């Protein structure tokens, strides 16, 4: 069955689905597992050079590889999902997660670890695919809450992943991290194959190979420059060349996408104000969300002798920040209620405003660990509301047969925001330092600057949300 006309979120309200609750539960479980694999490596980062017998600069590719493949595959897997089947692409994404995790679990050198982490990054398309499956399979009245839960799994998995990974690294062999990820991925794969039906919504068309190559090339150059610019130097010829190259490639890619009959990304649909402003606001929201992931953990781990640090262990810091994941999940449901009552635009405005409040709290209250925990919980609550609203805004403005591709592009915009946040925060904290004995640490002034920048990103996201056209809730 091919559906080409625009339709409201969800299909026929009277359509019967065999296991709607199970589909939602499995989708959310897959989202949490995929997100968990992205943060599970954090406790290993300082140890990777010795574990993989390489330099710190080379070891950082174990993180960068995931970032790059995730960014490239999110819009591509979404488009393929619309064309050949969302369940099929979800299965392939989860299979890549399992294979990548097993490869990492068996590795003791850099190359297999980077390849494995790259395959884990491929699975990030699962969240957008899961959201799209819910739109296709669930009755209209269940789509909003289900999508909100699924969208929040990105933060929930991240919040769970850090303390769990820290415990495993401290108490067991580090390879166990990846064996556990492989086992969880296999459970997801089995559950999807057993319960989730293939979506009836398809868009048979020739896959835009040149568009995919162009998008991948532009994204890799852009994200490489952003993620490695701090190491190479922002004025280095390689960094500047990659940035310039990405601009040229994206210009050519845009021209191609506007001319081809079946584009990878329908730029005309993307240019609609509701889609355009939502996607650009997503960059700001992603920036603000990731800033709260980077700053509190460093404040909690910093020695008390700095005058601002809490001196906690990695496990303690993870437990302090874990309530943020719970708040994100709980408030995603509140975001769905706001969307149902006032529309997704109002929900996104509310979420971004709450994120800003969290940064204001962190700006003035961070002397104690519990203050940092409260600030993180407030921001996470805002992220839960905002991330629940974004898919609803996107799906309310695109045809049903473009749902997965549009959600994949929106997920990419959030990913670009997190990458920008990592680059900006890393650069600021690297240049604002204090010396404590023989070691150099980020200064309190540096953290204040980062908080102010993230607060500004929240303000920009709020302004962009105000520019989204008003629509009467369906």
Q: What is the pLDDT along the chain (474 residues), one digit of tens a residue?
A: 333 333 334 444 455 555 788 999 999 999 999 988 887 887 888 788 889 998 887 888 888 888 889 888 888 888 888 888 899 999 999 999 999 999 999 999 999 999 999 999 999 888 888 888 888 888 878 888 888 888 778 777 777 777 888 888 888 889 999 999 999 999 999 999 999 988 777 777 788 899 999 999 998 999 888 888 877 888 899 999 999 999 999 999 999 999 988 888 888 888 888 888 999 999 998 888 888 878 888 899 889 988 888 999 888 888 898 888 888 888 888 988 898 888 899 999 999 999 999 999 999 999 899 999 999 999 999 988 998 888 888 888 787 777 777 888 888 888 888 888 888 888 888 888 888 877 888 899 999 999 999 999 999 999 999 998 876 444
Are 167 and 155 a contacting pair, CB within 8 Å? no
pLDDT of residue 184: 96
Residues found in the chain: 474
Long-range contacts of range 372-378, CB-CB < 8 Å, 24 or more positions apart? Answer: 372/296, 372/299, 372/300, 372/310, 372/320, 373/296, 373/320, 373/321, 373/323, 373/324, 375/292, 375/296, 376/292, 376/296, 376/321, 376/323, 376/324, 377/323, 377/324, 377/327, 378/327, 378/354
The continuous run of DSSP H or E covering 435 comes out as strand 433-436
Are 410 and 398 a contacting pair, CB within 8 Å? no
pLDDT of residue 233: 84
Are 334 and 385 a contacting pair, CB within 8 Å? yes
Residues sharing a CB contact under 8 Å with residue 370, sequence separation 6 or more, in sequence order = 320
- Would you say the CATH fold of 266-474 matches that of 9-203? yes
In this structure, what is the dihedral angle of CA atoms 165, 169, 174, 178, given to the nearest 10 degrees? -10
Q: In the 8-state DSSP scheme, what is residue 304?
A: G
Q: Is 9-203 in CATH node 1.10.3720.10?
A: no
Tokens of 252: 């050519």
The continuous run of DSSP H or E covering 440 comes out as strand 439-442
User: DSSP characters for 389-414?
Assistant: HHHHHHHTTS-GGGHHHHHHHHHHHH
Are 8 and 402 a contacting pair, CB within 8 Å? no
Q: Enumerate the domain spans of the chain.
A: 9-203, 208-261, 266-474
pLDDT of residue 5: 37
Interatomic CA distance for residues 177 and 214, integer angstroms:
35
Interatomic CA distance for residues 165 and 171, integer angstroms:
10
Q: How far is CA 144 from CA 26, 289, 408, in A?
A: 16, 22, 18
CATH of 266-474, one of 1.20.1250.20, 1.20.1330.10, 3.30.565.10, 1.10.40.30: 1.20.1250.20
Residues sharing a CB contact under 8 Å with residue 260, sequence separation 6 or more, in sequence order = 208, 210, 211
Interatomic CA distance for residues 238 and 145, integer angstroms:
45
Q: Which residues pair with 441 in a beta bridge?
A: 434
- Strands (E) in 273-387, as ranges, are none
Assign 202 to helix, strand or coil: strand
Torsion over CA: 136, 403, 39, 351 (sign): negative
CB count within 10 Å of CB 234 equals 12
pLDDT of residue 447: 93
Interatomic CA distance for residues 275 and 272, integer angstroms:
5
Nearest to 354 by CA among 300, 436, 289, 415: 289
Residue 435 has phi, psi (to 5 degrees) of -100, 130
Q: In the 8-state DSSP scheme, what is residue 469?
A: P
Residues sharing a CB contact under 8 Å with residue 109, sequence separation 6 or more, in sequence order = 52, 53, 54
The continuous run of DSSP H or E covering 95 comes out as helix 86-106
């Amino acid at each position: 069955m091919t559906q080409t006309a625009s339709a409201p979120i969800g299909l026929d309200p009277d359509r019967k689905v065999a296991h709607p609750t199970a589909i939602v539960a499995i989708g959310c479980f897959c989202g949490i597992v995929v997100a968990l694999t992205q943060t599970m490596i954090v406790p290993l980062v300082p140890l990777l050079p010795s574990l993989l017998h390489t330099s710190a600069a080379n070891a950082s590719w174990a993180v960068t590889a995931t970032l790059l493949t995730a960014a490239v595959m999110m819009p591509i897997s979404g488009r393929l999902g619309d064309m050949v089947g969302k369940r099929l692409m979800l299965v392939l994404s989860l299979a890549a997660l399992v294979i990548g995790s097993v490869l990492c679990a068996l590795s003791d050198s850099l190359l297999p670890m980077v390849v494995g982490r790259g395959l884990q990054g491929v699975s990030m398309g699962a969240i957008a695919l899961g959201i799209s499956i819910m739109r296709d399979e669930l009755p209209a009245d269940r789509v909003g809450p289900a999508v909100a839960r699924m969208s929040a799994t990105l933060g929930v998995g991240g919040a769970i992943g850090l303390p769990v990974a820290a415990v495993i690294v401290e108490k067991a062999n580090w390879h166990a991290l990846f064996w556990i990820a492989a086992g969880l991925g296999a459970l997801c794969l089995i559950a999807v194959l057993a319960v989730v039906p293939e979506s009836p919504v398809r868009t048979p068309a020739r896959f835009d190979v040149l568009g995919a190559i162009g998008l991948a090339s532009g994204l890799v150059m852009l994200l490489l420059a952003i993620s490695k610019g701090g190491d190479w130097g922002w004025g280095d010829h390689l960094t500047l060349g990659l940035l310039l190259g990405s601009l040229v490639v994206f210009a050519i890619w845009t021209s191609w996408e506007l001319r081809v009959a079946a584009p990878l990304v329908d730029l005309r649909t993307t240019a609609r104000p509701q889609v355009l402003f939502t996607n650009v606001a997503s960059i700001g929201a992603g920036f603000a969300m990731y800033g709260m992931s980077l700053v509190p953990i460093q404040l909690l781990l910093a020695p008390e002798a700095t005058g601002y640090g809490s001196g906690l262990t990695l496990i303690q810091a993870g437990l302090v920040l874990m309530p943020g994941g719970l708040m994100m999940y709980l408030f995603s449901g509140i975001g769905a209620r706001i969307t149902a009552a006032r529309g997704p635009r109002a929900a996104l405005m509310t979420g971004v405003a709450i994120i800003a409040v969290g940064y204001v709290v962190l700006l003035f209250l961070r002397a104690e660990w519990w203050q940092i925990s409260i600030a993180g919980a407030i921001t996470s609550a805002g992220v839960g509301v905002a991330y629940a609203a974004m898919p609803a805004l996107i799906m309310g403005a695109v045809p049903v047969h473009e749902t997965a591709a549009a959600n994949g592009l929106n997920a990419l915009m959030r990913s670009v925001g997190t990458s920008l946040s990592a680059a900006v925060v890393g650069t600021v904290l690297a240049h604002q330092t204090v010396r404590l004995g023989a070691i150099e640490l980020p200064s309190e002034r540096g953290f204040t600057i980062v908080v102010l920048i993230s607060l500004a990103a929240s303000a920009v996201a709020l302004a962009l949300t105000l520019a989204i056209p008003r629509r009467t809730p369906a």
